Amino acid sequence: MLGRRGGAAGRYRDELRRDKRDPAPSRLAYRVERLWLTPGFRKAVRVGLPAALVLAVTAGWLGDAGRRAAMQLRLAELRESVENRPEFMVSLMAIDGASEPVANAIRGMLPVTLPASSFRIDLEALRATIAQIDAVAGAELRIRKGGVLEVKVTERVPAVLWRRGGTLEMLDATGHRVATLLDRSARPDLPVIAGDGAGQAVPEALAILAAAEPIQARLRGLVRMGERRWDVVLDRQQRILLPEADPVTAIQRVIALDQAEDMLGRDLTAVDLRNEMRPTLRLAPPATGETEGEMKVSGP
């Protein structure tokens, strides 16, 4: 009897030993739990996995060429519908500050036919194109309310005529070309300059012309000599040969002598001031055909 009880108790103890488990987590479970506590891993699982899933689905959907073409067509239609809305349409062009020829040239430069969407008009590119017109010093563009493309133009003001061969070029005060003049009589108010390099010395020419204002009625123009200095051409085939340095002072000196002694009213062909220390007058040849003479002049 006791033997049976002892054997049963032993079997019971063996079963208890087999059922007893270690409450500590396994090594793999421990590592997974530690990894989950990492903020970067949790963010990757919560954000990265859904994003990767969406990306995979999108890539799979776009893998079909027909679907891609349909989507591109739909996007193009959507963009066109937005661009062509009435509030984005430009129907008129207003040009201020430009002469009629320049205004016509600007209208011809518009890359689209009005009415057109403002999205199709590159204002900066159009402004740069307009600025290439010789007569334009600057331009400002903007689109006003009501679909009006406003162009404000600053034109160059012609200051002189430059005779180059058989043509007349209008230049502004800086020497920049404005336009070609076909007929001198169209701008009788502009003085004439000539000679190689005259266009690059317009500011100096204008200073000489301003100083020569007392003899303007007799003035025919200025000729650039050797790209270094100027000759003042008067009527009656007279010339004033100015020096390379300080030509304004030299012309003022001639005018002072003329006002004091009527020098330019004499029978002479030239007043030579190229040598500041030895100014001379070249007298016209006498009727007998003798050579012209020279004489020194003095002034104030």
pLDDT digits (tens, 9 = 90+) for 141-158: 999 988 999 999 999 999
pLDDT value for 300: 44
Question: Which range has the worst mean pLDDT, 113-117, 198-202, 229-233?
Answer: 113-117
pLDDT at 244 over 50: yes
Sheet of strand 160-164, all strands in order from the earlier edge strand to the far edge: 177-181, 167-171, 160-164, 192-194, 219-225, 229-234, 239-241, 268-272, 280-283, 294-296
pLDDT value for 285: 81
**DSSP annotation of 298:** -
Domains, the chain: 86-155 (3.10.20.310), 160-296 (3.40.50.11690)
Which residue did the predictor score with more confidence, 288 or 35?
35
Task: Report the percent of the chain where pLDDT is more than 90.
Answer: 57
pLDDT value for 291: 46
The pTM for the full model equals 0.68
Max avg pLDDT among 9-18, 50-59, 258-267: 258-267
* Per-residue confidence band for 288, with pLDDT thresholds at 50, 70 and 90: very low
CA angle 260, 241, 296 (to 5 degrees): 55
- Phi-psi region for residue 245, left (φ > 0), alpha (ψ -120 to 50) or beta? beta
Residue 94, judged by CB atoms within 10 A of its CB (0-12, 13-18, 19+), counts as exposed
